[in-house]
Amino acid sequence: MRVATEREAAYYERRADGLFLCRLCPKSCRIPPGRRGFCRTRGNVDGTLYALNYGRVAAVHLDPVEKKPLFHFYPGHTILSFGTFGCNLACAFCQNWALSQEDAPTRYLAPEELARLGEECRQEDGRCVGVAFTYNEPGMWFETILDAAPLCRERGLKVAMVSNGYLSPEPLRDLLAVVDAFNIDVKAMDRGFYTRICRGTLEPVLATVEAIRAAGRHVEVTHLVIPGENDREEDFRRLVEWLAGVGEDIPLHLSRYHPAYRMTRPPTPTATLERFREIAQERLRYVYLGNTWRPGDDDTSCHACGRRLIARDGFFVTALDLDGDRCPACGTRLAGVGLTEARVSR
């Protein structure tokens, strides 16, 4: 096992016989000498638990913020997005499995370099609002984010995370201090689904969303609907009721599944997504359909009067009808961050 940096991992305990107990996520991996944890990012090397992916970048792209998806966080802007390798879940349908489940090729970028690249991107592209940690599971890039995010924010850059939400409470509190916005993937309300399909558990994910909301950080939720796996209406109603209890103005992105990685089920029928949207709109103010690429599915409307406020074509904002952050027709405030700075993408 090769250690690329001298960065010791955070949140672990030393046990007998050189064994380490990782406390970064609810898996609580017991890692013997010379081995790695489930996520493959924590390695027991020469009596120390190392963050093996510290500063190791496998992917860098300038993306629309809508691609994260974040629809109520600086709409129409871009965000410089970084990814590494590793994940603490093993979802059979993962679309980024080459990063999450494999040791993808990487190059080292120090936290200062990540922040500098974000600042350069903002200078070159006036729409760039900050940096995002995404693609694989960024919670497993904990040390890098904890070191890089404050440097980014010192430069006036916003910081976002796109995460499965499967983190322990203490590391999450550290991230809440330095991250501005989150999209959390709530994969199902069925404990069996998380165990069987993802090799994880449900409750920590729900607790993560609740903690983000309680901390006053911006949060949006994604729910991938998979035929025959998590598309039971009664389970979905439970998800909607729970999310409405956390915050009825939290945007919910219902995403259409397509075969990927180890799952070969056919794509989600659009009729299922349409039915789920109807159910969600009974309790939630902002509900979107993703991966459908149909006009109107990505638009933002006033929850009070129904007026269309933001029109989108996929990931791009095509029209704005806002009075600051309010509906020009009825004056109702649109929930979100950076709405007064929203802009048309192209």
In the predicted structure, residue 29 carries a pLDDT above the cut 60 = yes
Give the residue from 305, 227, 224 showing the smallest Cα distance to 265: 227
Mean pLDDT of 316-325: 98
pLDDT for residue 122: 95
In the predicted structure, residue 2 carries a pLDDT above the cut 70 = no
Distance, in Å, from the CA atom of 90 to the CA atom of 138, rounded to the nearest integer, reads: 14
pLDDT for residue 4: 53
pLDDT for residue 94: 96
When pLDDT is cut at 50, 70 and 90, the band that residue 100 belongs to is very high
Mean pLDDT of 63-90: 98
**In a 10 Å sphere around its CB, with 0-12 CB exposed, 13-18 middle and 19+ buried, how is residue 107 labelled?**
exposed
In the predicted structure, residue 3 carries a pLDDT above the cut 90 = no
In the predicted structure, residue 1 carries a pLDDT above the cut 60 = no
Distance, in Å, from the CA atom of 281 to the CA atom of 288, rounded to the nearest integer, reads: 10
Place of tokens 């945007």: 251
pLDDT for residue 346: 74
In the predicted structure, residue 267 carries a pLDDT above the cut 60 = yes
Mean pLDDT of the chain: 96
pLDDT digit string, tens, across residues 126-181: 999 999 999 999 999 999 999 999 999 999 999 999 999 999 999 999 999 999 99
DSSP symbols for 158-187: EEEEEE-----HHHHHHHHTT--EEEEE--
Token pair of 318 as six digits: 């095509």
- Its pTM stands at 0.97
In the predicted structure, residue 116 carries a pLDDT above the cut 70 = yes
Percent of the chain's residues with pLDDT above 90? 96
